[in-house]
Amino acid sequence: MGHLDDALALDATGQAELVRRGEVTPGELVGAAIDAAGQRNPAINAIIHPRFEAALAEAAATDTGRGGPFTGVPMVVKDLQCAIGGEPHHMGTRALKGIDYRAPHDSFLYRRFRHAGFVAIGRTNTPEWGSTITTEPLAYGPSRNPWNLDHSTGGSSGGSAAAVAAGIVAVGHANDGGGSIRIPASECGLVGLKPTRGRVSAGPDSGESWAGATIDGAVTRSVRDAAAVLDAVAGYEPGDLYVAPALQRPLADEVGVPPGRLRIGVLSGVAMGGAVDAECIAGVEQAARLLEGLGHHVEVSAPAALADPEFPRRYLTVIAACTLNDLNELESILGRPAGEDDLEPDNLLFAEMGRSISAADYLAAVHGQHLWVRDMLRWWHPEGEGHPHGFDLLVTPVIATPPPPIGYLAGPEGGRRVGELLLFTAQFNVTGQPAVSLPLHRTPDGLPVGVQLVAAHGREDVLVRVAAQLEAAAPWPSIAPA
């Protein structure tokens, strides 16, 4: 088992290379991941729907001579979107768990993961409907952070992040409507790349969610994995509402490419105010020093619209209206009204808010978001696309605290606290810009703290180049929880 343990410790790119060279078979690699899940998952509650037998069968049937870039590499899939036909798809709800709801068909995204050669060993825990930033659903209980089991994994992709951080797999499917890739990556010490709007298809069952704020991606151990996985799953599908700007070449080819001297704005500790934990400020300051040492021009600056007091109201209006629509769809599946035994209080409250929102209110909120996005993007493009004097990157915290204790963001006070901590990520879901969380900092007691980099619309290539620079300057893949 020694060589298999060593293989599991690699990133997905490294594991795929072992398979290509014949040093390990897909069956051995997937079996090792399943063994690791058996040992570690009981403590962290990351995988809630194991598909071990199916995964072993898929691995055994893999043709290593004709596969994709990740042939035979095990992964996990979040139990929210990325449906697998005929398999459980409960989205964190007690209602769908109670009827053992099964997805009617594969999502386009899951087909792309399979075409790339990945083998999913299970589906992972998520908060109900992915509507909060901790993974503690009543349906399945909390996922626990491998760095400290008393702390949150973040959300909503917390189950996937826990599985990757615990060394079960190297890649976990994730999605993000307000920070749900970046926040779990921050709290679990991973790389979390949120793609540009339209880069990854939501089909065939959805065109958009939260007025285009949501996007699928992955949490990974390395920048090269983040790039290569996005290469594998990106692309237009017929009927997609949004199309991201084409990249000049595969993102995997951007790893190691010198980015040149960039103009980078940093949201300083002073600008953040006293509500942001000192460790999160320290992480940003550390990143700023690293970037300056790498030759970039770094200055204290951020878009003024980032702190627009109207942003939370418009964002919440969209979420509440969409939650009511989700409730209507759930009741159609159930064939009856849904109540307190089916959904958690926060989502029932969102749905009730949705009932008070007229069509005109919703459209006004979306229109306000569109105007606000133009204000935001002027910081990157002050006089239009390609202007040479805009900023290339913005550096901010991911969330306003290190990983909070289990329970802190749950219960009656949890919703209020979410609003206090969710200061830096949701804005870039609404703008549709690519952003990444990098594990650049640790608290004195060893908890991970991520730092967010945000690029201009469609510029994942810039993010990957700079993220790879930072990874080389302050390598993190060699650091793992005990």
71 in Cβ contact with 20 (< 8 Å): yes
**Cα–Cα distance, 73 to 50 (Å, whole number):** 16
Please pick, among 180, 186, 201, 222, the residue that the annotation labels catalytic. 180
148 in Cβ contact with 123 (< 8 Å): no
**Cα–Cα distance, 174 to 266 (Å, whole number):** 27
Please pick, among 143, 152, 156, 186, the residue that the annotation labels catalytic. 156
Residues in the chain: 482
50: Cβ contacts below 8 Å, ≥ 6 apart: 37, 121, 122
**SS3 of residue 130 by DSSP:** helix
Amino acid at 310: E
Residue 7 CA from chain centroid, whole number: 24
DSSP label of 247: P
Q: Pairing between strand 119-124 and 47-50?
A: antiparallel
**Cα–Cα distance, 185 to 287 (Å, whole number):** 16
The residue behind tokens 């007091």 is: 309
167 in Cβ contact with 40 (< 8 Å): yes
Nearest to 57 by CA among 84, 23, 30, 20: 30
Whether 222 is catalytic is no
User: What are the residue ranges of helices labelled H in 191-310?
Assistant: 223-233, 269-272, 278-293
**SS3 of residue 285 by DSSP:** helix
**Cα–Cα distance, 407 to 385 (Å, whole number):** 45
Whether 180 is catalytic is yes
**Cα–Cα distance, 157 to 180 (Å, whole number):** 6
Instruction: Estimate the share of the chain in helix, then strand, then coil, as percent rounded to the nearest 5.
Output: 40, 15, 45
Q: How many CB atoms lie within 10 A of CB 274?
A: 7
Whether 78 is catalytic is yes
Handedness of CA 307, 310, 314, 317 (dihedral sign): positive
Q: How many CB atoms lie within 10 A of CB 290?
A: 18
Q: Return the active site residues.
A: 78, 156, 180
